[in-house]
Amino acid sequence: MFWGVVWAVLLFVFGTGAVLPALAENLVTNGDFSAGNTGFYSDYTLETALHPEGTYYIVSDAHDHHSGLVSCKDHTTGDGLYFAANGSPDTTKAVWRTLTAPTDS
């Protein structure tokens, strides 16, 4: 359903020649993890080896920190950082969360 709505909006906007507004400032602090382990909260434990379950680390390649993970780079630039986690069996734990302030737009 979501992608159907997105396609409908794109077809409407581009089909009518409407101009999209400029992209706004990112409201998520450190949303690309370039500042490392800052600007967010996690109920998981920070651990470089990503062992045991319920741990996370900010990485440039997850395989360097857990042999069971596939070697892959950041999807935006190929040399950035991203959040890697070893999932917890406790489903009440938040993997990643942040607070954003409301905007006037």
In a domain, 44, yes or no: yes
| Pairing relationship of beta strands 45-46 and 55-59 according to DSSP bridges | parallel
What average pLDDT does the segment 34-46 reach?
95
Residue range of the domain that includes 63: 23-105
pLDDT in tens, 47-69: 999 999 999 999 999 999 999 99
pLDDT at 15: 47
With pLDDT > 70 as the criterion, what percentage of the chain qualifies? 74
- Element (DSSP H or E) covering residue 5: helix 2-15
Residue 100 has pLDDT above 80, yes or no: no
In a domain, 5, yes or no: no
What φ, ψ does residue 51 adopt, rounded to 5°? -130, 140
* CB atoms closer than 10 angstroms to residue 4: 8
In a domain, 55, yes or no: yes
pLDDT at 9: 45
Tally of structural domains, the chain: 1
In a domain, 16, yes or no: no
In a domain, 42, yes or no: yes
Residues 36 and 58: their CA atoms lie apart, in Å, by: 6
Please provide the average confidence, as pLDDT, over all residues in the chain: 81
